[in-house]
Chains A and B, each alone.
Chain A
Amino acid sequence: MTDATVTRPRTRRDAQFDRIRDREAKLAGTTQRKGRFLSKFLNNRLAVIGFAIFAVICLMSLFAPLIAQHDPMSPNLRAIAKPPSAEHWFGTDKTGRDIFARVLYGGRVSILVGLGSALLSALIGVIIGVYSGYVGGWLDWIAMRISEIFMSFPQIILVLLLVAILGQSLVNLIVIFTLTGWGGIYRMARARMLSIREEEYVQALRSFGLGPARIAYKHMLPNALGPIMVNITLSTAAFILQEAGLSFLGLGVPLSIPTWGNILNAAQDLRVLEQNWWIWLPVGATISLFVLSVNFIGDGLRDATDPSQQG
């Protein structure tokens, strides 16, 4: 027999393991069940923080008329480019408009564009992708080729090209984003369906004589919802970034409507950039924070719906 003084080397995980083991020992014999999805999502601290930030920014934008003390559009010649104060929390811009009000109202449009385009392109992508992924055939072939054409353009070039052709307006922008954005989610939904199609329960349903549309949308789609949700959150983030970029160039939503990107547009002027930080810094931070929160939610959703991510 070897001597009993031999000790196993401890690693940084040992304390964590001891904790789990002791807790299990206490709970031995009792059973506890919590929704797996919800508990995984809640265990992800970043996702919960992200959701809180997301909710706060959305609600503040939604109730902008109740929160903002000033009109976002009306210039005030007596308060031009004033730094933040009790009266104007984020200061005023070069025509004396209250920036806090503009950020709140701008959020409405920016979130509408981002979320709206993401939902619309998801709707189109999922409807086509789920059906064509399950049924295949010529419809699948055509949809695949069309999405290939869309996706061989760098997205922003295609968006700008369409802006040049269709002209600048809020509705056009959502239409353009939807047109350029459906391809990704279509391919994702299609790929999911291709793998689900091979599962046995689908074969069983087919043998019961159910129609393809019913099998695809009613029975298979729910099993693909996880990745679709993740995709929607991530494309919301992407569209908000794109709207900001386009408006910053002055080619997004017409400058007369306040959006986050349009407010930032003023920072193209080096004097504003250097001397009036409050005109662009808070709104840039707001965009970043919002996109960050959406990305955290997306990551949390992915971890919660993906069974392969453990530990």
Chain B
Amino acid sequence: MEMGNDVALSVRNLKTYIYTNNRCNRALDGVSFEIRQGKTLCIVGESGCGKSVTAASIMQLLPTLSRIEDGEITYHGPDGPVRIDALERDGAKMRAIRGKEIAMIFQDPMTALNPVYSIGFQIKEMLRYHTSLGRKDRHSKAIDLLRSMGIPLPERRVDEYPHLYSGGMRQRAMIAIAMSCNPRILIADEPTTALDVTIQAQIFELMDTLKRENGTAIMLITHDMGVVAELADDVAVMYMGNIVEAGPVGKVLRKPVHPYTRALLDSIPVLGRGKDQEIKAIPGQTPDPYNRPTGCQFADRCAYRVSACDEMPPETMVADDHRVMCWRYQEFMADAAE
């Protein structure tokens, strides 16, 4: 893949292992992708496939008992490329990137905000570390941010504590914190899973607006194919620590060439196709992370398994922007072309 000027962050062959209970879980086993400036990359997959570990690796927010084993994470900032994986976890350089260059919002806004500090305090804290604004300016900036996130009465709300906010409002406040220093990349880890469906749409709309207005690159982690179709520019499908298929949203969703992507798409009902549509659940379950298959991780659940699948398939480019990890991709390509 050629690296254009518009790449905000690139990840190459990233391996992150988790070491809890004296075991080694190869949570990410060679992951590569890039996030383009002003575009949305969606990472989809079932829970436990390594989506969140990817986000945590980029932010260097991995749990204590885990580490990046191999690979590169490069942030293409205004001052040239920075190798994030080589920075000290909580060192000054990493901290200067977190929040200011790459900001993150989390799955559960109920627990992601500190209950003992006001929303305003938690926004201003960010401004204090990454901007040179004075006390008063920080306060008015916090109010502005809340207002632009669509929170009513921001002058009053700014001094309120998280427990007085509803779930959707908390996620808006969380986004206000994340956007406060105008980051180049926003990582959103399933930001709406804990929210009502009606609120979900509002949050996504807000994120989309921010992307268009500020040119922020967004990495959105989700398990919802509907969200992908709605928001993504690029898609990466993850399964058990690998990206099994990646490419522009049109190609991946319309002409999937990996059996897992196909199975994912087949397993969701499509509105308007009526009651008779065939919804296929994916058979079996994800393997035990401590006891993985040696070859293709999806082989045990795959309807197209052949003996070659006992070995790990390589990442193959099927188009200049479309990539897959499957031995039989050519058959699926031919199939998709029909």
Contacts between chains A and B (CB distance < 8 A), count: 49
A299-311: contact bitstring with B at CB < 8 Å (1 yes, 0 no)? Answer: 0000000000011
Please tell me if the beta carbons of B20 and A2 are within 8 angstroms of each other in the complex: no
Q: Which residues of A contact B88 (CB under 8 A)?
A: 9
Q: Is the CB of A17 within 8 A of B83?
A: no
Report yes or no: A2 in contact with B74, Cβ–Cβ below 8 A. yes
B19 touches A17 (CB 8 A): yes
The answer for the CA separation of A9 and B67 in the assembled complex, in Å, is: 11
Q: Shortest beta-carbon distance, B21 to chain A, in Å?
A: 6
Across-interface contacts of B290 in A (CB, < 8 A): 24
State whether A29 touches B294 (Cβ < 8 A): yes
Interface string of B141-181 (1 = CB under 8 A from A): 00000000000000000000000000000000000000000
Contact A31 B291 (CB under 8 A): yes
Contacts of B29 in A (CB 8 A): none
- Determine if A16 is an interface residue (Cβ-Cβ < 8 Å): yes
Q: Establish whether residues A8 and B68, one from each chain, have CB atoms under 8 Å apart when the complex forms.
A: yes
Tell me the dominant secondary structure on chain A's binding face: loop
Asked if A152 CB lies within 8 Å of chain B CBs, one says no
Nearest-neighbour CB distance to chain A for B69, whole angstroms, equals 8
Q: Which residues of B contact A20 (CB under 8 A)?
A: 19, 22-24
Interchain nearest-CB distance for B12 vs A (Å)? 9
CB distance from B87 to the nearest CB of A (A): 8
Any A CB within 8 A of the CB of B270: no
Tell me whether A14 and B67 are in contact (CB under 8 A): yes
Q: Mark B72-100, 1 if CB is under 8 A from A, else 0.
A: 10100000010101111100000000000
Q: Residues of B at under 8 Å CB distance from A?
A: 17, 19-24, 64-65, 67-69, 72, 74, 81, 83, 85-89, 290-291, 294
Chain A residues near B (Cβ < 8 Å): 2, 6-9, 11, 13-14, 16-17, 20-21, 24, 28-29, 31, 310-311
Give me 20 other A-B pairs in contact (C-beta within 8 A), A2-B72, A311-B21 excluded.
A2-B74, A8-B68, A11-B89, A13-B19, A13-B64, A13-B67, A17-B19, A17-B67, A20-B22, A20-B23, A20-B24, A21-B24, A24-B24, A24-B290, A28-B294, A29-B294, A31-B291, A310-B20, A311-B64, A311-B65
